[in-house]
Chains A and B, each alone.
Chain A
């Protein structure tokens, strides 16, 4: 009797391994797609710019842009990109860090929540809308009020000389600053939140004021993370296209004045790609893309490495 029951025991077959293997292969393939994509982007840009690479070589980087005579060089765009991005970063960084301090160290919880939401909303505004607002609201105001004042106060500096056009490199820097403030703010907030509360409490217990707590307990040790946040912002700034194209004036001449119109690598592509009919012209624009890609990759890898070291604790009590 007992033996019969034991014999009748149902033995389930082990779960099939085939499903797992197939699923693993499928997901692995998709994960590896990022490498394929990265390679594809590099390859297509390289292929596209081959003609220009062969024709101009390294001198492409230090030559002027002269499509009329078939001579192409990225110098004005490299300068424009560099100046507008770095200026944008210089405007955005102090504002973002101060905002992040306010949000992590000073603001009461009921202020923090809506302000964080608003900063995120600013990040969600499409570039083209910022550009539209830029041309019709921001640029006219900058041209009529702050720019003449700047020229009056420090016009002896060569960068503030010359006619004020409105659509210029400085306006592009301001627009870029508005666009990268949210990302730097949120990264800086992560960095400050990663500082353990015990460190702040210790400083308070020693009689430090709020600012001293921030300076001694929070800033110390977050330098690396803040540098990473700045790099991330710079990466965004370098590649910003639409809003910049709309306010920078799209001049291909190099000028020492910030009040003169200019171009960036991205804005030159956006502005000239559809009019570039001959092969060399198009190829030169592809090479601008290649230069832009390489610059942003370096910046982003730097940001990735710097920020990777920062890990914010998952703390639900702080927003």
Chain B
């Protein structure tokens, strides 16, 4: 090969490597910009008042999103109550009992549910709960988020249980322990960290969902006194305020967004710590 050709090849390789590096930078850039803007526009408005007060009526400045923050926690808690038992037990079935053919079908169905747009969940739960109950409620919102959680939890549970060595299950069976006890006390406990990780990630995901809540939990400018009333939520409040013509509401939208993203990122960071811990014990 001629020396020129070799140089050309090396130059091409170097150019493409640089291009790939620049692309990676471009992918990260929006994240950096979003976090920067959130901190710049949101930080000045997040104070004690914002975290502990109800929204003020239109035209008055001040007020906060206390009800929306609490509402988001309530909705996520309801979602966990619905999504985790179903997803967890379903995942256990796939990994401990299932047959290849059934597992394939369940996985396909779970992936389809995972890919179902969140707005579709919103109108389905609207038809299912809001119409018969004649009004939006925290139950409906929690159900919508919970249904979104089911396939997420199911898939991670199955994946995590598959990592538990078979010798553990065999040892338990050899001791004469019934299978259900061995699954609950040995297999599940071994995979515990991974499953908690999956549940936390699912929580982070649904905590930021807006579309399923629009018509199910609706919104509320006040405290909700019962779960059958409409309830405020952080993403929904951000959406309402973001589109409003009032400067003060827009300012609060940024503040709310900062609180929401800190919550979501904290969950994600918690997950990183958890998984790092488990990988260390795994190496032992």
Contacts and interface: CB of A to CB of B under 8 A. Distances in A.
Q: Chain A: interface residue count, which band?
A: 35 or more
Nearest to A175: B30
17 contacts: A19-B180, A27-B89, A31-B94, A31-B102, A37-B147, A45-B127, A126-B264, A128-B260, A129-B238, A132-B253, A209-B13, A212-B9, A212-B13, A239-B116, A246-B239, A273-B123, A304-B108
A122 B117 contact: no
A51 interface: no
Contacts of B94: 31
A131 interface: yes
B24 to A, nearest CB: 4
Interface string B92-112: 111011100010011111111
Contacts of B245: none
A238 B150 CA distance: 21
B115 A239 contact: yes
Given A34-B154, A102-B20, 13 more contacts: A15-B176, A24-B97, A30-B93, A31-B91, A41-B124, A44-B123, A99-B23, A129-B257, A132-B254, A178-B30, A209-B12, A274-B215, A285-B123
Given A16-B178, A37-B150, A266-B117, A211 B17 contact: yes
Contacts of A47: 127
Among A20, A34, A137, A238, chain B packs the most CB atoms within 10 A around the CB of A34
Contact of B208 (A115, A129, A210): A129
B24 A274 contact: no
Contacts of A289: 119-120, 123-124
A142 B249 CA distance: 24
Contact of B178 (A20, A32, A35, A285): A20
A45 B120 contact: yes
B28 interface: yes
B171 interface: no
A143 interface: no
A310 to B, nearest CB: 14
Interface stretch (B31-39, B43-51, B60-68, B221-229): B31-39
B265 A121 contact: yes
A48 B127 contact: yes
A28 to B, nearest CB: 5
Contact of B214 (A22, A96, A99, A274): A274
B208 A127 contact: yes
B34 to A, nearest CB: 5
Interface in A19-62: 19-20, 22-24, 26-35, 37-38, 40-41, 44-45, 47-48
A240 B204 CA distance: 17
Contacts, number: 269
A26 B264 contact: no
Q: Give me the 6 closest cross-chain CB pairs, A-B, nearest first.
A: A239-B117, A126-B208, A98-B23, A23-B180, A27-B93, A209-B13
- Chain A: interface secondary structure? helix
Contacts of A122: 27-28, 30-31
Contacts of A240: 117
Interface residues of B, number: 92
A40 B98 CA distance: 23
A48 B154 CA distance: 28
A218 B179 CA distance: 44
Interface string A250-263: 00000000000000
Contacts of A65: none
Contacts of A15: 176-178
A167 B107 CA distance: 38
Nearest to A240: B117
A270 B210 CA distance: 10
Contacts of B117: 238-241, 266, 292-293, 296
A79 interface: no
Given A129-B257, A273-B123, A241 B128 contact: no
B113 interface: yes
Contacts of A164: none
B248 interface: no
B54 interface: no
B183 interface: yes
